[in-house]
Structure 1
Amino acid sequence: MQVPLEITFRGLPHSDAVEGKIREKTAKLEQLCDSIISCKVVVEAEHHHQHQGNLFHVRIDLSVPQKQIVVSRDHHDKQAHEDVYVALRDAFDAAKRQLEAYIHR
């Protein structure tokens, strides 16, 4: 990656474990495609739910030559993510699928 990975936490404290998981999943994307220019990941917790715990929103912005890949997974999607690791897994799986589609073009 030409630009260092950017990780932002909003509405929750910084977590070394979550950051480590993000770095691990980003490294796997880099193995898939070595032309990634930059990657920005935002992990956000929403606290305003009476019947559920915190819901997590993950956004991934990948820059590759001639394309910007954006993945956004939040509570408006098919399933709410009460577990930050599940939200990360789903977001990075979607990013991988989009990256594979980019490579095959």
Structure 2
Amino acid sequence: MQIPVEIAFHNVSSSDGVEDAIREHVDRLERIYSRMTTCRVRVDQRNRNSNETIPPVVRIEISVPGHKDIVVSHEPAHLQRKFQAPDLNNAINEAFRIAERRLTKHKDKLCDHGTAEMVHEASNEFRGQIADLPPEKDFGFLMTKEGGLLYFHRNSLLSGDFDSLQRGDQVSYVESMGDTGPVASKVRMLG
């Protein structure tokens, strides 16, 4: 990290053991994503009751380059639902468990390790027709349902014979981004 971890306590006493546990969790976060710039942890005992069963709130703010801060903070009710008798250690462990999950999700999104939602190709497939086929060229143009023209190359044709294509033939295609703008790819002849 570029900035050392910041740990603050509010309405709760600090101890070396608690701070060491927090620092160990932060080290684990750094192993997950080494590009963290800073991590701020605040332990806050917002409410108290007579039998001391309300756990403190642990708020974690993780700064990563090029992204808004990843913030983890949950109310005591979350811990009271999850643990029978939640304490400071439960609050710290649960907050860092959530932080690890969010940081891993952020890292996977950047690395595109398959966390992106899978979309079937058919949902991106459109219908059009052959609009122009310049003679003795390896490309042509499709007319989209909106009336625009899209370039396609001979190699984009997945079914049918490029040399037998004629103006007005119905096709399906997937629109993608080429070097100079949108193009039709995965072009298929329709019966």
TM-score, normalised by the number of residues in structure 2: 0.51
Q: CA RMSD in A?
A: 1.7
Q: For residue 20 of structure 2, give the secondary structure of its aligned residue in structure 1.
A: helix
Structure 2 counterpart SS, 1:55: coil
Alignment of 1:9-20 (within 5 A): 9-20=9-20
Offset at 1:47?
Answer: 4.4
Q: Distance in 2 between matches of 1:98 and 1:31?
A: 14
Deviation, structure 1 residue 54:
4.2
Report the counterpart of residue 8 of structure 1 in structure 2: 8
How far 1:66 sits from its partner (Å)? 1.7
- Offset, 1:76: 3.4
Once the two structures are superposed, the pairs formed by residues 1-105 of structure 1 within 5 Å of their partners are 1-67=1-67, 68-77=69-78, 79=80, 82-105=86-109
TM-score of the pair, normalised by structure 1: 0.90
- Counting aligned pairs with the same residue, the percent is 34
Alignment-mate amino acid for residue 78 of structure 2? D
Return the alpha-carbon distance in structure 2 between the equivalents of residues 47 and 98 of structure 1: 27
- 1:67-103 superposed Cα distances (whole Å, 9 cap, x missing partner): 2100002213263673101100100000000001100
- Deviation, 1:18, is 0.4
CA distance in 2, matches of 1:69, 1:3: 16
Q: Which amino acid aligns with 1:53?
A: T
Whether the aligned pair in 1 keeps the contact of 2:6 and 2:40 (CA below 8 Å) is yes
Residue ranges of structure 2 left out of the alignment (5+ in a row): 110-191
- Number of residue equivalences: 105
Within 2, Cα distance between the matches of 1:78 and 1:47?
A: 14
**1:17 Cα offset (Å):** 0.7
* Displacement of 1:65: 1.2
One-letter amino acid matched to 2:90: V
SS in 1 for 2:77: coil
